[in-house]
Amino acid sequence: MRMKRRVLLLLNAYDQPTHQAAVKAAKKYNWHLDTNVLTPMSMINNWRGEGVLSSLTDNQRTTNFVLQHAEIPCVDLSTWREDLKLPRVAADNAAIGSLAARHFIAYEHRHFAWYASAPTPFGEARFRAFSAELSTIDKKAIRLDGPGSLNYDTMAKRLRALPRPCAIFAVNDADAAWLASLCLEEGFQVPTDFAILGVDNNPLVCEVHGVPLSSIDRDTAGVVLEGARLLQDAMAGNPPAPKTRLIPPKGVVTRASSDAFVIEDDLIRRVMRHLSRHLSEKIGAPELAAEFGVSRSLLNQRFKAATNSTLHQTLMKLRLREAADLIITTKWNMERVASETGFTHASHLSNSFKKHFGQSPLHYRGTNR
């Protein structure tokens, strides 16, 4: 019986989703998996094996280990050290930033901010894409990062200076959680004053916060499994080229921290929330009037006053934005995208999409992935 290949999961901090995905890969490829964060680095320095799955950062100890063991195939799961010529699989940070902006825009926000407790290359990539997407509606994001970004009093002062309501995109769930806690301690309402969105969709952070946190699922498992596939090929004698493969995010998991439309009329806020959760269904003024116990004429009147748009126009906009996200973040064909977003068939989606975005759905997918 052939001995299992020894593979080292080389992380700078423990990350449960990455570990879980690596275990799944190890079972698939019959690896013996070592994990450096569960073993002292001094012991790892003498490690001998056949392959390394790394997630390099500015930690020079782990980088030195990879450099000193250049004869061992290594696949990196981060874009932090792109100066090192390694095969690399990572989350598409540009797609993540764009997705965050579209999420907030769909909720009718007009003021935006960005927060990261510390500068990172992937964070800057997310911020640039977030800003670029906002520029399409002539908006900018106020930066809350920089010196003092982990100081309570400094950050409280920066929050008080923001226009409200304001949509804040945080670089990851940990930063989103810290910022949301600060908002609540300072007496602000989340999401009424500040809507907050993180990245990673870590249920151990997002689902236990005082206000459950919305987050972008960056498809950690997809990143790790693709990296594992490349490493398996390399250990079999087929090393991949030293380039970066980007995995698109799976989408926004919306929870309470961002699930509120910027509309004063409570009825219409509830209608908008209902619309966003039932886009695939047949829904219109008759169904909504019955759902909320009002007449169709009153519903249409209040909707127009609150949004300066008709219910039909708003529903179409929500469906098209959801379709745009699915086109980028999935490999679904247009029939399925149409079905999931309430269009009668793919041609209906295509015609509406072209009118709204000025390009076909397939062209949009090709230019945004």
Structure confidence by residue, pLDDT tens digits, 184-232: 999 999 998 999 999 999 999 999 998 999 999 999 999 999 999 999 9
- Contact yes or no for 89/240 (Cβ under 8 A): no
Q: For residue 48, what pLDDT is reported?
A: 87
Fold of 5-91+220-247: Rossmann fold (3.40.50)
Global pTM? 0.86
Q: CA of 99: how far to CAs of 205, 251, 300, in Å?
A: 21, 8, 30
Beta-carbon count within 10 A of 214 CB: 25
Question: Containing H/E element for 312?
Answer: helix 311-329
Query: What's the CA gap between 351 and 166, in Å, rounded?
Result: 34
Q: For residue 240, what pLDDT is reported?
A: 87
- Contact yes or no for 280/313 (Cβ under 8 A): no
Give the 3-state secondary structure of 21-90: HHHHHHHHHCEEEEEHHHCCHHHHCCCCCCEEEECCCCCHHHHHHHHHCCCCCEEECCCCCCCCCCCEEE
What percent of the chain is modeled with pLDDT above 70? 99
Question: Pairing relation of β-strands 141-143 and 194-199?
Answer: unpaired
* 169's tokens: 């995109």
pLDDT tens across 84-103, in order?
999 999 999 999 999 999 99
Q: For residue 308, what pLDDT is reported?
A: 87
pLDDT band at 1 (very low <50, low <70, confident <90, very high): very low
Q: Which residues are paired to 251 by β-bridges?
A: 217
Query: What's the CA gap between 324 and 222, in Å, rounded?
Result: 21
pLDDT band at 369 (very low <50, low <70, confident <90, very high): low
- CATH assignment, 266-368: 1.10.10.60
pLDDT tens across 146-189, in order?
999 999 999 999 999 999 999 999 999 999 999 999 999 999 99
Angle between helices 266-277 and 296-307 (to 10 degrees): 100
pLDDT tens across 13-69, in order?
888 899 999 999 999 999 999 998 777 677 777 788 999 999 999 999 999 999 999
Q: Report the chain's mean pLDDT, rounded to a whole number.
A: 93
Which CATH number fits the domain 93-218, given the four candidates 1.10.1740.10, 3.40.50.10470, 3.40.605.10, 3.40.50.2300? 3.40.50.2300
pLDDT band at 251 (very low <50, low <70, confident <90, very high): very high
**C-alpha closest to that of 311 among 323, 330, 321, 298:** 298
Domain boundaries, the chain: 5-91+220-247, 93-218, 266-368
**C-alpha closest to that of 171 among 222, 118, 133:** 118
* 274's tokens: 């209902």
- Contacts within 8 Å (CB) and 24+ apart, 13-18: 13/37, 14/38, 15/55, 15/220, 16/202, 16/204, 17/200, 17/202, 17/220, 17/221, 18/55, 18/77, 18/220, 18/224
| Residue 43 exposed, middle or buried by CB count within 10 Å (0-12, 13-18, 19+) | exposed
Same fold, 5-91+220-247 and 93-218: yes
Beta-carbon count within 10 A of 144 CB: 24
Query: What's the CA gap between 94 and 124, in Å, rounded?
Result: 9
**C-alpha closest to that of 341 among 252, 274, 272, 277:** 277
Residues with Cβ within 8 Å of 82's Cβ and at least 6 positions away in sequence, in order, are 88, 121, 244
User: Does the bond joining 191 to the residue before it have cis omega, within 30 degrees of 0?
Assistant: yes
- Contact yes or no for 338/320 (Cβ under 8 A): no
